[in-house]
Structure 1
Amino acid sequence: MKVWLFNPPSPSSMGYTREGRCTQEAGAWATQWPPISLACAATMLLEDGHEVRIKDYSAVGQNASALYGEIRMDRPDIALWSTGTPTFSFDLKLAGGIKSVSPETRTGVMGTHVSFVPEEAFQEPEIDFVIRHEPEEIIRNLCRKEGAPPGNVAGLSYRDGKNRRICHNPSAPFLDADSIPMPAWDLLDLDPYRLPLKGRKFLMVAPMRGCPYRCSFCTASLYYGESPRYRPVENVLAEVMANVHRHRIREFLVWADTFTLNRRYVQQFCQGLLEKQENLSWTCNSRVDTVDRETLKIMKKAGLWMISYGIESGNNAILKRSGKGITVEQAKDAVSMAKEAGLRVAGHFILGLPGETEETMNETLALALALPLDVAQFYAAVPFPGTRLYEEALSCGWLKTAFGQSQNHASLELPDLPSGRVEAFRRYAYRSFYRRPQVWGNMLSMMEMGAFRDIFLSLKRFSSWTSD
C-alpha cells in the first residue's frame, strides 16, 4: 500500500507545528518542530512492507497547490495528516483538494482536536477517517486492512462505505513503552528544523509519554494517557546515537510532558549520555515542582543548556483554579535552581484563564520581568476540545469564535475581561519583556558565531517571532 503522511502547509507566512498537545504558530521561542509522531508511524508502516512518504509542507514553505500537485502525480492509496486547533478549518479543507486530483485516495486526519470532537472533522465531506489519540498503532492497523472494512480498528472513526454513516470504534489501548519505535527521520528533509538563534539543526527524542496531571487547559493527559510510560533508557540512548551518526545531529529537544517527574530515570539518561562522550547539546521542558539541584546539575553536565518551565501565571488563585498544582513560590525556586546550575531558562505564561483580571495579568507580567528568564513565551488561553477549560467555556458561553479562525490568539470572552484586552496585553507583555537590554544581551550570547548568513537568518527569525 502507498501511504502519505504529512504536516499540512501553513495558512500564513509563519510555520505551524502540529504535534501532540502542541499545535501552534511559531512565536517568540517556538520553532518548526519535526513531526515525530508521523515519523514513528512511518517506521511501523515500513516494517509492514508499505511504501511510505512523509513531508512537512509547513517546514519547507510549500502551499496547498504543491501538495495537490504531488498527490496528483503519486496517487497514494491513503493520505493521512496532522491537524491543529489554530488551523482546524484550513486543515480539513485539504481533503477536498486531495480528492479532486486523486478521487481514489482515502483521506484521514489526526491530532488532539479531532480526537475529542471527531464529528467536527466529518463536517468536511471528503474526510474518510479520524484517528483518535496516540496515532501510530492505529495507523498501522488501518493500513493492514488494505481496503477491507475498518470496523475492528480500535481508535478509528470512519464513514461506512455503503451509506456514509459515521462510525466510532472503541478507543485503542496506548502503546507499551517498549513498542514505541525510532522515528524514520530518513524520509524527511531535516534542514528546516533549526534552533532559534543558534540556527543549528535539531531533532526531537521522546523518552516517555503520558502525564498524571490534569491542568484545565492542557490535552496531554487526555491524548497520551495519565500513566507515564518510560521507554528503556538504553533504547532512547540508541536513538540519540543513531541520529548523531546517521544525520549528524548534535542538538536535541527531549520531548516529554513530565520528563523530570522520575528523577532516577533522568539521572540514568544523563549518565548514559556522559558515558557516550559525544558532548551533545539538548533542551527539555519541565514542571517547576519536579526539579532539584542535584538533578539539574547532572542534566547540565550531560549537555542540557536550556530548560523550559510552564509557569503559567503570577497569581496563585489562578494556578489553583486551573488545576496546575504549583505555586508562584515554586516557580521562583525552580528558576533560581536552574540558574545556579548554569542553565538558560525559558518561562511559559498563559493570559486569559478563568478568573483573570487586569490586575492578575499585571502580576503575571511582573513575575516574568522579575525572574532571571532568558526567554519568555506569552500565550492566550485556548479552550482546546477535551479539556475542562473547553467544557467551562461552552457552558458559560465564553467561546465566541469558530475554531480555526483565531485560536492562536485570545478567543475567550470572560465576564470581566474581553478577548481584545487579553490580546492587547499579550502584545504589551512581549514588548515589555524583550525590549530590555539585558534580554537582548542574552539573545546575542546564545547565538552561534558561525557564518554571517546563519546569524542573519537567526535574527530575522527571532525579530519576526517577537513582532506580534
Structure 2
Amino acid sequence: MRKLTLILPLFKTRAVPRRRVPSGLLSLAAEVQAIKDVRVDVVDAESLGWDAADVVEYLVLSKPDAVGISVCSPTFPSALELMKVIRTEMPEVLIVLGGKYVTHSWQSALNAGANADAMVRGDGESAIAVLAQALAAGANRMEIVSALAELPNVWVPGKKAPTLPHAFNLQTAQPWPLEVLAHNLDLYQGDRMLIEFSRGCPGRCSYCLASRDRQQISFRPVAQVVETIAHFSAKGFSSFFFTDDDFAASPSHLACLLEGIIERGLKIKFDANVRPDSLVRCEKIAPLLKRAGCRCLWLGIESGSPAILETYRKGFETNVCERAVVTALIAADVVRTNWIIGAPLETRETVNASMDFASRLQQLGPHVPHISFMVPYPGTPLCDEALALGLISPSHLAELAESTHGEPVMPSQFLTKNELKELFYEFHQRYFTPESLASLPPAVADEARLVLSSAGLTNKKLPLKYKNGDFRESCIHRIEQHGEDYSSIKTPN
C-alpha cells in the first residue's frame, strides 16, 4: 500500500490557530480515495498549531511516499521551512506544492527556493489523481514526476511555464472523506465549519485572483452538500461558512440547496460571500435564505466612487448595491459590506465617497462595513496597473504575494501609505461611533465589535468600549467554552 499525505501549513502570524476544516485538501483526498492501493491522510497543521518539526515528526512515523502541500500567501514562508526540513529528514519523499500562492505566483515560489519536485497551478484534483494512479502502479519518484510533467498546469524542473487549467467540474467530485483527517473532528469545535457548494465567479474584478482562472462556475451536487452538512450537524456543528467565490451566482442552484437544507430539517447558521448584482437576482428567494439559516451575507461593494468601481471592473453601479443591501437585510440576520481602500487612482474624495455611501446604506438598515487595504496580487490586472504607474516595483512582487489586507502595502497615485492609513481610521471613526454601536441590534453590534477588534482598532485609536474584551482572549474563550481538552495542541508563539 503506497501512501500520500496532504498538508496545510501553519499560519505563523495568528495568535490562536483558526480551526476550520481544510476543505480544499479534503477535495483532493476524495480523488485519491477512489484509487485502489493508495492510502491518503490530511494533516491540518494550521489548526493543530504544528510547526515544521511537528509535521516532520508525524511524517517520519507515518512514512508517506509522497507529500502534497497547499499554500496561500501568508503560509508560504511556513511551507518553505517545512519543505527544507522534509528534504533533510526524508530526502526520498516526493514533494508537490500547490494552492492559491502557487497558482498565481509559481515563479516567485521557484525563485524563493521552493524545494518541490512539482508545482501545480489551479485546481489540483486532476494532478493529484495522476499522482495517486502513478503511486498505485508502483512508479518511483522520477517516474511520478514524468507523469505529472504531462499535465499543462504542472511545473517540474526543466519545464516551461505551466498554464492555468479549466476549473475542475464539481459535478463529478467525490464527497469529502472526513475519515482521512489525522485528528478528530472535535478539533474544529468553536469555529465555523467550511463548506464548498461552488467554484467560480461571474465577475471580472481587476484585483481578484479568481476572476482570472475561475470564470466558469461549477457546482457540487446539492444532495452531496446537504449530506455533508447533515454529517457535521450530527457531530454537533451548527455554524458554517460557504467558501464559494459568489454564493448567489445562480438563483436556481441556490434555491435547490436552500430547499434541501430546509427539507432535511437542519438547524444551522451560515455565512457566505455574494456579489451585490448576483444577490439582486436572488431577491425572490431572500426569505428562503433566512429560513435555511443565513446568519450573515458578506457583500463585496468595495467603493462608493463610480470612478473607482469602474477601475475595479466591478460590473455594477452603486444603485445595485442599495438593492442588494435591502435584499440582504431580508435574507440574513447580519449584513457585512466589504470596502477596499488604496486603488491606484484612489483620492481623498473617492474614499469620502465610500464613507458617504456606507452612511447612506445605513439608512436602509443596520449593516457592518468591513474596511481593508488593497493588495495588488501578482497576476491581476490591478497589479499590472500599479506596476505601470510605478506604485510597486517588480522586485517587490514576491513580498506582495505574501501580504494581507491589514496594512497598506502601496500608495495610490495621489495618497501616501500613511494618508491611506489615516483615512482607514477616519472611515471607522465616522461610521462606528459609540452612539451608532449602541443603536445596533445585538447580533449586528457583536459583528461590528468583531470587525473592529480583528482590524486591530483598540480604545487607544477609537473612542469605543468593547464588551467582548481583547480579541485574542475572545478566541481562546471560544475554544475553551466547549469544554474540550486542547492542552496537548501546540499554539504558535
Q: Does 1:231 align with 2:220?
A: yes
User: Compared with structure 1, are the counterparts of its residues 404 and 77 closer, same or farther at alpha carbon in structure 2 (3 Å cutoff)?
Assistant: same
Q: CA deviation at 1:357?
A: 0.9
Correspondence 1:281-360 to 2 at 5 A: 281-292=269-280, 293-341=283-331, 343-360=333-350
C-alpha distance after superposition, 1:158-185 (max 9, x if no partner) = 12xxxxx245556544322321222233
Q: Distance in 1 between matches of 2:275 and 2:416?
A: 29
Q: CA deviation at 1:268?
A: 1.9
Q: Distance in 1 between matches of 2:202 and 2:105?
A: 22
Q: Distance in 1 between matches of 2:16 and 2:384?
A: 29
- Larger mean CA deviation between 80-89 and 437-446 belongs to 437-446
Q: Does 1:180 align with 2:173?
A: yes
Q: Distance in 2 between matches of 1:99 and 1:308?
A: 42
Query: Which of 391, 407, 410 lines up with 2:408 in the alignment?
Result: 410
Q: Distance in 1 between matches of 2:9 and 2:428?
A: 28
**1:89–1:404 Cα contact (<8 Å) kept:** no
**2:192–2:241 Cα contact (<8 Å) kept:** yes
Q: CA deviation at 1:363?
A: 2.4
1:396 is matched with 389
- Larger mean CA deviation between 430-439 and 260-269 belongs to 430-439
Q: Distance in 2 between matches of 1:360 and 1:325?
A: 18
Q: Distance in 1 between matches of 2:355 and 2:472?
A: 21
- Larger mean CA deviation between 404-413 and 93-102 belongs to 404-413
Aligned residue identity for 2:400: F
Q: Does 1:220 align with 2:210?
A: yes
**2:171–2:218 Cα contact (<8 Å) kept:** no
1:79 is matched with 67
1:92 is matched with 80
C-alpha distance after superposition, 1:399-451 (max 9, x if no partner) = 25423564443212322122233234334444554553543675854779xxx
Query: Which of 108, 112, 123 lines up with 2:96 in the alignment?
Result: 108
Q: Does 1:272 align with 2:282?
A: no
1:42 is matched with 29
Q: Distance in 2 between matches of 1:174 and 1:8?
A: 24
Q: Does 1:130 align with 2:119?
A: yes
Aligned residue identity for 1:426: F
2:58 is matched with 70
* TM-score, length of structure 1 as denominator length: 0.83
Q: CA deviation at 1:383?
A: 1.3
**2:192–2:239 Cα contact (<8 Å) kept:** yes
- Larger mean CA deviation between 210-219 and 358-367 belongs to 358-367
**2:269–2:293 Cα contact (<8 Å) kept:** yes
Q: How many residues align?
A: 432
Q: Distance in 2 between matches of 1:361 and 1:78?
A: 49
Q: Distance in 2 between matches of 1:462 and 1:289?
A: 36
User: Compared with structure 1, are the counterparts of its residues 62 and 342 closer, same or farther at alpha carbon in structure 2 (3 Å cutoff)?
Assistant: closer
2:486 is matched with none
Q: Distance in 2 between matches of 1:250 and 1:346?
A: 20
User: Compared with structure 1, are the counterparts of its residues 242 and 87 closer, same or farther at alpha carbon in structure 2 (3 Å cutoff)?
Assistant: closer
1:25 is matched with none
User: Compared with structure 1, are the counterparts of its residues 435 and 15 closer, same or farther at alpha carbon in structure 2 (3 Å cutoff)?
Assistant: farther
C-alpha distance after superposition, 1:301-344 (max 9, x if no partner) = 12112111001011111011110112222212211232245631
**1:351–1:380 Cα contact (<8 Å) kept:** yes
Q: Does 1:377 align with 2:378?
A: no
User: Compared with structure 1, are the counterparts of its residues 386 and 440 closer, same or farther at alpha carbon in structure 2 (3 Å cutoff)?
Assistant: farther
Q: Does 1:2 align with 2:3?
A: yes
**1:433–1:439 Cα contact (<8 Å) kept:** no
Q: Distance in 2 between matches of 1:441 and 1:76?
A: 56
2:250 is matched with 262
- Larger mean CA deviation between 294-303 and 331-340 belongs to 331-340
Q: CA deviation at 1:201?
A: 4.2
1:13 is matched with 14
1:23 is matched with none
Equivalent position SS for 1:376: strand
**1:138–1:172 Cα contact (<8 Å) kept:** no
Q: Distance in 2 between matches of 1:180 and 1:425?
A: 45
Q: Does 1:461 align with 2:471?
A: yes
Equivalent position SS for 1:122: helix
Correspondence 1:441-460 to 2 at 5 A: 442=440, 444-445=442-443, 460=470
Aligned residue identity for 2:229: V
1:421 is matched with 419
**1:434–1:440 Cα contact (<8 Å) kept:** no
Aligned residue identity for 1:378: I
User: Compared with structure 1, are the counterparts of its residues 420 and 242 closer, same or farther at alpha carbon in structure 2 (3 Å cutoff)?
Assistant: same
C-alpha distance after superposition, 1:3-23 (max 9, x if no partner) = 22122112223468xxxxxxx
User: Compared with structure 1, are the counterparts of its residues 261 and 174 closer, same or farther at alpha carbon in structure 2 (3 Å cutoff)?
Assistant: closer
Q: Distance in 2 between matches of 1:363 and 1:189?
A: 48
**1:152–1:169 Cα contact (<8 Å) kept:** no
Runs of at least 5 residues in structure 1 that lack an aligned partner in the other structure? 17-30, 160-164, 195-199, 449-455
* TM-score, length of structure 2 as denominator length: 0.79
Q: Which runs of 4+ in 1 moved over 6 A?
A: 462-465
Provide the alpha-carbon RMSD of the alignment.
3.0
Q: Distance in 2 between matches of 1:432 and 1:65?
A: 47
Q: Distance in 2 between matches of 1:437 and 1:189?
A: 44
Aligned residue identity for 1:419: K
User: Compared with structure 1, are the counterparts of its residues 428 and 272 closer, same or farther at alpha carbon in structure 2 (3 Å cutoff)?
Assistant: same
User: Compared with structure 1, are the counterparts of its residues 99 and 429 closer, same or farther at alpha carbon in structure 2 (3 Å cutoff)?
Assistant: farther
